[in-house]
Amino acid sequence: MIGFATRRLLQAMIVMLVVAVLAFTMFRFVGDPINQMVGIETSIEEREALRERLGLNDPVAVQFFRFATKAVQFDFGTSYQFRQPVSDLFAKRIPATLELSFTSALFALLVGIPMGIYAGLNRESPISKLFLSLSLVGISLPTFFIGILLIFLFSVTLQWLPSFGRGETVQIGSWWTTGFLTVSGLKALILPSITLGLYQMTLIMRLIRAEMLEVIRTDYIKFARARGLPDRIVNFRHALKNTLVPVITITGLQLGAIIAFATITETVFQWPGMGLLFLQAVQNVDIPIMSAYLLLTAFMFVAINFIVDILYFLIDPRLRVGRP
């Protein structure tokens, strides 16, 4: 067990290193940060001095080493555009992203599971077919398009919901802000979480439907029905329970994806979270923010994979066979 975990940990660290190198070298090609930091009439000498002070004239290897040694101490440097520590900026933006991700995951589960169950139990009904074709739309349309569609329908035409931002937020403690406690905050959550969660919702729905179809064909369901148990008990206590295992696994993994890929949704809805910060950073060639964001995202995925691996190891005895 210890050996397995250590090996996995070592692999994870190598992955992180590779991501860091990739992230760092990639930014050589994004453009020159200096032009975004000063006005156009700033003299060439001043630009050069600035470049020198920021260490942009050093060899890439030196810059990377500086970046990496600081990053392992959770120091991601200072943002070029905001001139504040990147870690502070992230701390301020994380609540918005987490609340949005949490809400959209909840939306995906609360809507996806019932739809999946229904479609699984009544596979021939027209409503099931409607669900299936709708889910195709959800999977095939790009996120930004769905977002803009929703904005034009619910904000511009019907004027029910806001088209951008978080609405009013409430400060909790010194660093968490929440939109859950105000009406405008809750309203502002609706469109972006649908946009962000739509893909996951359709995924869950299709997964549940397939699993349900599988399970209701099994013998123990047939026996349960033969024993005269009511449909409700059979469907929900026996069938549904057994479909949930893969759903939980997928949902856990997808949660990471939701957080990491909230970028587009946040941009469309001007949602002041990490993703928006990242995209603004790309436009302004704010290298410290970009590097830190990619590193954090990679870290999240590596961590989730690591935990999943360990869990599988604990659950599945076959993995232990033949390993010292």
Partner 1 sequence: MYKKSFVLAAALLAAGTGSAAKAETLKFAFQGALNALDPYSLNETFTLSALGNTYEGLTRRGPDLQIEPALAESWEILEPNRWRFHLREGVKFHNGSDFTAEDVAFSVERVRSEGSDLSTRVPADMKVEIVDDHTVDFVLSSPNPILHYEWDTFYIMDKEWTSENDAVKVTSASDTSVNHAALNANGTGPFKLVSHEPGVKTVYEKFDGWWDEPKHNLDTVEFTPIGSDATRVAALLSGEMDMVYPIPVQDIKRINDNQGTSAMTGPELRTIFLGMDQMRDELLYSDVKGKNPLKDAKVRKAFYQAIDINAIKTKVMRDLATPSAIMISPLLFSRSDEFERHPYDPEAAKALLAEAGYPDGFSIGMDCPNDRYVNDEAICQAVASMLARIGVKVNLNAQPKAKYFARILASGNYDTSFYLLGWTPGSFDSWNVLDNLMNCRDETGKGSPFNNGGFCDPQIDALTDQILVEIDPEKRDALIAEAFKISHDNAYYIPLHQQSLAWGVSDDVNVVQRADNQFKFRFVTKN
Given the rule CB under 8 A, which residues bind partner 1?
29-44, 46-48, 50-51, 53-54, 77-78, 80-85, 92, 148, 151-152, 155-156, 159, 162-165, 267-270, 272, 276-277, 279-280, 283-285
Q: Whole-number minimum distance, CB 66 to partner 1, in Å?
A: 13
Closest distance to partner 1 from the beta carbon of 80 (Å): 7
What is the distance between the alpha carbons of residues 12 and 240, in angstroms, rounded to a whole number? 35
Q: For residue 52, what are its two tokens?
A: 């020198």
Question: Of the two residues 234 and 290, which places its CB atom closer to partner 1 in the complex?
Answer: 290
State the CB neighbour count (10 A cutoff) for residue 109.
17
Residue whose CB is less far from partner 1, 169 or 243: 169
Between 119 and 150, name the residue whose CB sits nearer to partner 1: 150
Q: Bridge partners of 85?
A: 78
**Residue closest to 201 by CA, chosen among 271, 145, 267, 250:** 250
Distance (Å, whole) CA 300 – CA 294: 10
Query: d(Cα 76, Cα 97) in Å, to the nearest integer?
Result: 19
Q: Which is nearer to partner 1, 150 or 216 (CB)?
A: 150
Residue 206 beta carbon to partner 1: minimum distance, rounded to whole angstroms:
29
* Buried b or exposed e, range 130-146, using 16+ CB within 10 angstroms: ebbeebeebeeeebeeb
- Min separation Cβ 201 and partner 1, Å: 23
Least distance to partner 1 from the beta carbon of 220, Å?
Answer: 51
Kindly tell me which of 24 and 269 has the beta carbon lying closer to partner 1.
Answer: 269
Q: Which is nearer to partner 1, 117 or 294 (CB)?
A: 294
Q: Considering beta carbons, is residue 216 or 290 the nearer one to partner 1?
A: 290
| Other CB atoms within 10 Å distance of the CB of residue 95 | 21
Residue nearer to partner 1 on the CB measure, 46 or 214: 46
Torsion 76-80-81-82 (CA) sign: positive
- Please, what is the minimum distance in Å from the beta carbon of residue 252 to partner 1? 30
214-249 as b/e, with b when 16 or more CB fall inside 10 Å? ebbeeeebeebeeeeeeeeebbeebbbebbeeebee
H-helix segments, the chain = 2-26, 33-37, 44-53, 60-71, 86-121, 126-140, 143-150, 183-215, 219-226, 231-232, 241-260, 262-268, 274-283, 287-315
Q: How far is the CB of 93 from partner 1 (least distance, A)?
A: 9
**What CA–CA distance (Å, rounded) separates 103 from 97?**
10
Q: How far is the CB of 55 from partner 1 (least distance, A)?
A: 9
